[in-house]
Amino acid sequence: MLVNFSLKAIYAFQVLSALITSSTPRAATHWKLQQQPNGQALVLPAEEDFAKVASEDPVLSILLAEKYGFGTDGTRNNENKDGECVKCSEKEEFELRDFDDDPLHCKDITNKSQYDDLQGIVDRLKHPFMPEPEVSLIFKRSESEEVNLDILEYNLRDAMQISPNSLSVLNQVGNFWRVKGSTSLAVECFRKALIINPHHPDVLLNLARVLFNLGYKEDALLLAGQSLDHKNSDQNTWLQHFTLGEIHQSLSRSEEAGHHFRHVLDLNPNFQPAERHLHQLGLGDSFSYNTTLYTLGIILALFLIVFLVLYLVTEGLSKSARPTGNGFLEKNKTPKGKRGISC
């Protein structure tokens, strides 16, 4: 009895040893908990050991390639061996098409705008990532307020769901994407607004700024000019003139640029960037000299007016206080019947 138990124990130990020896170590060493770009944690095979796993289990390699995007060499299908993104522009275009249901992407467009033939709009899906953090100033209600982009995004998405065709909301969403750097989406939202109203001066100017920053200078010049033309006469146009001045300066058109920068200072005298541009163009000193003469002329004219008013007032007062000649004669006149009579 004891001998049989010993034999069974030895047999069981041998079977267990054979199983351990013949098994592969991939269940223990080839899998890792890996953090994904979207924040999701997945248990995946280590990339450096994937080729070995694939050779031992071809079915598993096929499943992993389809599910998680691994190639046969252990790299992601959209990466090279150095981990660099391959065809990222195509990936971004796919993402734009894939998330068209997001109201902030302004994608539910069936018509064309009258500006769709501009090259900067034709190339809108190719535009690079270019944040404009200074644009966030337009969302501030006070100088000390900090702009929370998460809250702003939530509020704008809610506004788009309520009023998807509001020009004001579309303009704000376009500027939000400018802050975030998504130039393609910014162009798309401004384009949708221009389909509704092709003459909206603020939308035209914002789109001009985006295309100018991207290097589409002629497109930007056209849009900024349209913005200036459609601005109401009672509205200040210094920002339109400043944008046109910058575009002309970048095109080496100094005379036109100086013309617009002078208009800026006429409408907004304390705007220092316009003064700096004039100095860069070599027009700052002459402009300051002309401004000084203009100021002195105004002061001199005011002085003459004040002097004339004081003179007229003083002359009027002196005349009213002086007795007239007829009054003096009447006071000293002697009656005719009493002449020659002495007391």
In whole angstroms, give the CA distance from residue 119 to residue 223.
12
Same domain? For 115 and 228 the reply is yes
pLDDT in tens, 184-214: 999 999 999 999 999 999 999 999 999 999 9
Where among 194, 210, 235 does a domain terminate? 235
Residue-level pLDDT at 73: 46
- For residues 124 and 64, state if they share a domain: no
Residue 92 banded pLDDT, cuts 50, 70, 90: very low
Same domain, 111 and 180: yes
- Domain identity same for 61 and 176: no
Question: 70 with 173, same domain?
Answer: no
Query: Are 61 and 172 contained in the same domain?
Result: no
CB neighbour list of residue 284: distance below 8 Å, 6 or more residues apart = 275, 278
pLDDT tens-digit series, residues 228-285: 999 988 889 999 999 999 999 999 999 999 999 999 999 999 999 999 999 999 886 5
pTM of whole model > 0.85? Answer: no
The total number of structural domains in the chain stands at 2
Residue 183: band (very low, low, confident or very high) from pLDDT cuts 50, 70, 90: very high
Could you give the C-alpha distances from 126 to 99, 176, 192, 210, 308, in angstroms and in order?
Answer: 17, 19, 18, 14, 68
Q: For position 208, which CATH number holds? A: 1.25.40.10
What is the C-alpha separation between 106 and 194, in angstroms, rounded? 12
145 found inside a domain: yes
229 domain-assigned: yes
Three-state secondary structure string covering the chain? CHHHHHHHHHHHHHHHHHHHHHCCCHHHHCEEEEECCCCCEEEEECHHHHHHHHHHCHHHHHHHHHHHCECCCCCECCECCCCCECCHHHHHHHHHHHCCCCHHHCCCCCCCCCCCCCHHHHCHHHCCECCCHHHHHHHCCCCCCCCCHHHHHHHHHHHHHHCCCCHHHHHHHHHHHHHHCEHHHHHHHHHHHHHHCCCCHHHHHHHHHHHHHCCCHHHHHHHHHHHHHCCCCCCCCHHHHHHHHHHHHHCCCHHHHHHHHHHHHHHCCCCHHHHHHHHHCCCHHHHHHHHHHHHHHHHHHHHHHHHHHHHHHHHHHHHHHCCCHHHHHHHCCCCHHHCCCCC
CA distance linking residue 301 with residue 138, whole number of Å: 41
Does residue 80 share a domain with residue 108?
no
As a whole number, mean pLDDT of residues 52-78 equals: 47
State mean pLDDT over 105-133.
89
* Top-confidence residue, 204 or 322: 204
- Give the range of the structural domain holding residue 49, as residue numbers without chain letter: 33-84
229 and 169 inside one domain: yes
Q: Which of 189, 218, 235 is the last residue of a domain?
A: 235
210, 110: one domain: yes
